[in-house]
């Protein structure tokens, strides 16, 4: 691939990461994720029943998909660390998504607790992808702590509001030496395309698919949007101008007087 997506030392073809929650059943989950082309799927530990027939791992072969356990629902660094250590015990996973929520109403991240947990997990041998707010300072501190990726929100979790602060997302991209993935708040394909046009390395979403009127169709739309957005970013957009600029140059125009 001429433009590979490299995360924690592994190369992926798809820059779209997809969650496995909120779908009506496992059949729909499988169909939607297949349509999205995602190779990395996020999972909450409560969905990983290793003994039950028809569990997530029976449907999504761990040899094909990269599982990304997350600490969703944790409100302290201690709980997040315990949860992700349990993930390692259950499946041997060390690439994890760290998520420490500040309160139940906004579901915004608690940055101080996130940073605390990240430092512990990195020292414990985890490859940490950290969910955070759209603050360049917080993103820099998480990268300095050893996180393999930073994941600023576009908008509150499950809101579908799209990227509320593109300027901050761009600043995070420009300063970061690790992959930057927009996580939370994506609502439709144009939101995903914008994230990629801003230079993000990838997009993680769940509700945008599961809550769509046609999740399967939206999955295909998101797949194409991420590809188109990355192509546009690499192509380099034209400069914005305050005035019009004719598509055809005026030089060499044959005047009516000469005809």
Q: Which residues are catalytic?
A: 97
Beta carbons within 8 Å of 164's beta carbon, 6+ residues apart: 134, 154, 155, 185
> Distances in Å between the alpha carbon of 183 and those of 206, 235, 242?
9, 24, 33
> Rounded to 5 degrees, what are φ and ψ at 254?
-80, 120
Residue reference for tokens 């993680």? 204
Residue reference for tokens 């769940």? 206
Question: How many Cβ atoms are within 10 Å of 51's Cβ, its own excluded?
Answer: 5
For the record, the structure tokens of 134 come out as: 């759209």
For the record, the structure tokens of 77 come out as: 């660094």
- Burial class for 164, CB neighbours closer than 10 Å (0-12, 13-18, 19+): middle
Say if CB 17 and CB 203 are below 8 A apart.
yes
**CA 257 remoteness from chain centre:** 60
- The beta-strand segments (E) located in the chain are 5-7, 10-12, 16-19, 40-44, 66-70, 95-98, 127-132, 149-152, 181-183, 202-205
Beta pairing partners, 180: 150
Question: Which contacts of 31-34 are long-range, i.e. CB under 8 A and separated by 24 or more positions?
Answer: 31/216, 32/209, 32/210, 32/215, 32/216, 32/219, 33/60, 33/219
């Amino acid at each position: 691939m001429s433009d590979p997506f490299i995360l924690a030392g592994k190369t992926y073809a798809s820059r779209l990461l997809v969650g496995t929650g909120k779908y009506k059943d496992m059949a729909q989950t499988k169909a939607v994720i297949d349509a999205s082309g995602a190779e990395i799927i996020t999972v909450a530990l409560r969905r990983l029943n290793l003994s039950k027939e028809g569990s997530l791992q029976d449907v999504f072969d761990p040899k094909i998909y990269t599982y990304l356990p997350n600490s969703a629902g944790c409100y302290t660094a201690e709980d997040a660390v315990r949860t992700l250590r349990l993930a390692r015990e259950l499946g041997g996973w060390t690439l994890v998504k760290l998520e420490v929520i500040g309160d139940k109403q906004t579901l915004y991240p608690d940055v101080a607790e996130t940073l605390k947990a990240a430092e512990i997990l990195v020292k414990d041998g985890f490859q940490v992808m950290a969910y955070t707010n759209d603050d360049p300072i917080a993103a820099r501190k998480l990268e300095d702590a050893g996180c393999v990726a930073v994941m600023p929100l576009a908008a509150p979790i499950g809101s579908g509001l799209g990227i509320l602060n593109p300027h901050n997302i761009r600043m995070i991209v420009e300063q970061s030496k690790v992959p930057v993935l927009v996580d939370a708040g994506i609502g439709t394909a144009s939101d995903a395309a914008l994230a990629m046009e801003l230079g993000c390395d990838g997009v993680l979403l769940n509700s945008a698919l599961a809550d769509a009127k046609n999740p399967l169709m939206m999955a295909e739309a998101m797949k194409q949007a991420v590809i188109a957005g990355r192509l546009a970013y690499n192509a380099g957009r034209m400069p914005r101008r305050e005035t019009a600029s004719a598509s055809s140059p005026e030089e060499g125009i044959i005047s009516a007087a000469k005809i």
